[in-house]
Structure 1
Amino acid sequence: MDKLEGNGKKPGITVFSGGTAANSLVDVFNKIVEKKGRQLSYVIPISDNGGSSSELIRFVGGPSVGDIRSRLVRLIPNHDRDNDEEMMALKALFEHRLPGDPIRARAEWLDIVEARHLLWTFISSPKRELIRSILNTLNLEIVKRARPTSVFNFAEASIGNMFLTGARIFSGSFESAIYLLSMICSIPSSVAVLPAINSNFTHHISAGLADGTSIAGQVNISHPSAPTALPDDGVVAPALTAADHDRIEDANLPGSLPVLRRQHIAFSKDDEEDLPARIERVWYINPYGHEIWPVANPKVLAALARSTTVVYSIGSLYTSIVPSLVLRGVGAAIAAPRVRHKVLVLNSRLDRETGPAREPMTASDFVAAIARAGAESWTPGAVGREDEWRRYVSHLLYLEGEGTPTVNVGSLERLGIRCVRVAGRTVGEGRRAMLRYDEDALGEALEAIIDS
């Protein structure tokens, strides 16, 4: 009988992922948990310092909320017999981004917090006033913190990000903010979205490259961008020194690394230059750049304790998956005998983090990176020996096609890692064409592993 020992409950499934990329697989996971009656937990890092999260972090501090918001909004039910219109309206509100022009963005923000915006049309009065009270909490905080040297830039701000930040400030709890958004949006209780670290503070990562150099800050690792100008000067600001930053009153501690204090509101994940060398490891740093070793969210460890299946979803390997795995307690929880299936869903293409043209990563390199992160969760700086890979990855699901990572099936299966090729489909045309997993085929492959 498929039950956890002692409590009579069916075992859970824990998915490690980032935000945007893995959203395309949400329906696959939903169907599996509905069919199997399982509890599903998404573990998502809070270290992304790009996009609208970067301005919230700079101005009011706190964890990055963008990927958490992205998953919560994706989980809003598509159909609610009693209130389809309201569900669609809530999704539109929390997905909405303000204009790229700071002046227009600020004006639209005021229309929203003052309930004059069309986004409120199909949202019921109780929910509208509750959401507005949270947004106004954040608005008051922004007004209080405004200084001649630093004002908040509303350009491209996500309303969902603003809500989660406001709810965290109001309640004093990031966990409560997530709970409130989940309740407002009727997200099923069978699904949990868990920040990898449960904290009211900002957490940053750094990457060490094979050539000995290091890169601080997630946005600089995965999709670097030029600093964004403050809204009142109209030009791109020059690079600031540490002394310059210390004269600016924002949420950063004096003396913090300048690279962690920049605005990264506008950036592109396309056509980025290759890294000069492969990434070897990722670790957490404090605001001054010193390595730290945070403990995982206790709810993440609890989710792993009741799971028999762990899935490493598609997305950025070193900035979406590894930051959750290196946290204290995670490696031991994954390596525990009760977690029978540890499934890596391999990306369909290489990116800046995994594909330096001179030495693109293979499937074995992906597995090695996950195993090293799991080993570092026990001991910082551990390498993760090849004979330990299977402690962290038992199955590999992959696509075959142009641009996909090379899968050396024979060598992986000799290590006890079963490789399963999954059917795919091409989405888009021309340069934007991308091979993606066929959802039905991926679901069947995952179900077969879970049932084995």
Structure 2
Amino acid sequence: MTSARGIVVFSGGSAANNLVDVFKSLVEKKKCPLSYVIPISDNGGSSSELIRVFGGPGIGDVRSRLVRLIPDDPNDDDSKKAAIRAFFNHRLQDDPGMARQEWLNIVEARHVLWTDIPSEKKELIRSFLNLLNLEIVKRARPSSVFNFSSASVGNLFLTGARLFSGSFESAIYLLSNICGVPDNVSVLPAINTNFTHHISAGLSDGSIIVGQNSISHPSVPTALPENVRLEIEEHDRIEDGTLPGSLPTLRKQYITFSKTDEEELPARIERIWYINPYGQEIRPRCNPKVVDAVDYAQCIIYSIGSLYTSIIPNLVLADVGEAVAQTKARYKILILNSNIDRETGPSSAPYSATDFIAAIAKACASSRGLKGSVQPNDYRTYVTHVLHLEGLNTPVVEKVVLNKLGIETVRLYGRKIEGKNVVRYDEKGLLQALEATIGRRDPRADVSRRNTVESRYPPV
């Protein structure tokens, strides 16, 4: 591996996991390091129960990326890698009682998941699961017991490792080594912390949504209820890992929620900010390693994913916007989502490519402490290229407008999903487009229907 400047990818969890192989191939050809920057503000799913009982960051997206990075090496035993992957991705059963029994079977090494996991890794993993199990028993109270329903085993392991070492960073290091993540790849939490950090969203109609899960998934977007004091007093009777007086919205269990048939927001999201447990706005600093990675980058990529809950929480942190603005990286590439979702609607006024870029620029400017609205002429400070698909439900790309702002647009041909009116990025085409964009070779070479720079080089 050379000392070439690296590539930094701002992303969330599940959506960007689909592009891991693309980024892997890209850095192998560029012979450079790769850094994934991932937010820790998710308070939904099994993470919500871990946060409720133990506090600490939302770790689900970090765990998901680490496990996805398990390499496919033909010289290794595929069954062992598959077993590690299945183990850390496994979720316990939905029924709380059955889930608890399944957990005990795992802790006691009687579960089928342990099959094919090497003994040295098995006993290392079990030691942290046993430690977490002890902490769960110690913290049990008549008013609060841990709910194992749908819990991710990987999240449970990361929590046990963090509680043992007192360091989220060390827990990530341990899981990285167990998973065999390549040395040139880093998974960086946006904030390196042992504490919980939540976000709020302000909508253009003046309403506020508290907590990432409520922003991403169907909820009633209202300000704090009038009877919030009574609700806080009720929650304060429960002894768990949250501070007395914390907002009830941040103390609820969000173990189950819908990722489909999402209700539209009544208005566009205007701003994302971090809050303390009492709902007051705070401005936390980012992980210093994120700034170092951005400073030393040749390319910054804003990956596909939820704009306001996967990408923006990374960018509004103190020091990130300045690092993005001042980096020597020549390429700041937005891989535009292939569809409009809850966060980039409503359907009456869906986001265009320019809206995505404006949101990124506004977040970075907020991080820098700049007051007032960001002007279009400033967009190129944060985004230089847009890679996008074209088809049903894809965001509109105003090529002429963006080109006048100095932002180049690159259209790719995607893959149609059978039975659905949607398109997805083709890995080979996206890799070729990224290589061409960051100057590995002339974009006119090897043009195919999977990789077309429409604005300059028509398809052949």
- TM-score (norm: length of structure 2): 0.92
> Which residue does the alignment assign to 1:122?
116
1:22-421 superposed matches below 5 A: 22-224=16-218, 241-379=231-369, 382-421=372-411
**Deviation of 1:225 (Å):** 6.4
> Which residue does the alignment assign to 1:442?
430
Q: Separation in 1 of the partners of 2:159 and 2:354?
A: 39
**Deviation of 1:289 (Å):** 0.3
Q: Separation in 2 of the partners of 1:152 and 1:80?
A: 41
The AA in structure 2 aligned to 1:309 is C
The AA in structure 1 aligned to 2:243 is L
Q: Separation in 1 of the partners of 2:113 and 2:370?
A: 47
**Deviation of 1:428 (Å):** 3.6
Partner SS state of residue 400, structure 2: helix
Partner SS state of residue 195, structure 2: coil
**Deviation of 1:78 (Å):** 2.3
Partner SS state of residue 342, structure 2: coil
Contact 1:376 1:383 in 2 (8 A): no
Identity over aligned residues, as a percent? 62
Deviations 1:368-421 (A, max 9, x none): 000000100111765322111000000000000001011111101100000000
Partner SS state of residue 451, structure 1: coil
> Which residue does the alignment assign to 2:14?
20
Contact 1:225 1:266 in 2 (8 A): no
Deviations 1:22-63 (A, max 9, x none): 000000000011111110000000000000101000011100
> Which residue does the alignment assign to 2:445?
none
**Deviation of 1:241 (Å):** 1.1
Q: Separation in 2 of the partners of 1:121 and 1:65?
A: 26
> Using a 3 Å threshold, how does the CA distance of structure 1 residues 409 and 194 change in structure 2: closer, same or farther?
same
Q: Separation in 2 of the partners of 1:54 and 1:170?
A: 20
> Which residue does the alignment assign to 1:9?
3
> Which residue does the alignment assign to 1:229?
none
**Which structure 1 segments of 5+ residues have no match?**
227-238
Partner SS state of residue 13, structure 1: strand
**Deviation of 1:82 (Å):** 3.3
- TM-score (norm: length of structure 1): 0.93
The AA in structure 2 aligned to 1:208 is G
Q: Separation in 2 of the partners of 1:203 and 1:445?
A: 36
The AA in structure 2 aligned to 1:366 is F
**Deviation of 1:359 (Å):** 1.1
**Which structure 2 segments of 5+ residues have no match?**
221-228, 441-460
Q: Which moved more, 1:73-82 or 1:179-188?
A: 73-82
> Using a 3 Å threshold, how does the CA distance of structure 1 residues 341 and 258 change in structure 2: closer, same or farther?
same
Task: Name segments (4+ residues, structure 1) moved above 3 Å.
Answer: none
Count how many residue pairs are aligned between Structure 1 and Structure 2: 432
Contact 2:316 2:367 in 1 (8 A): yes
Contact 2:393 2:422 in 1 (8 A): no
Q: Which moved more, 1:364-373 or 1:440-449?
A: 440-449
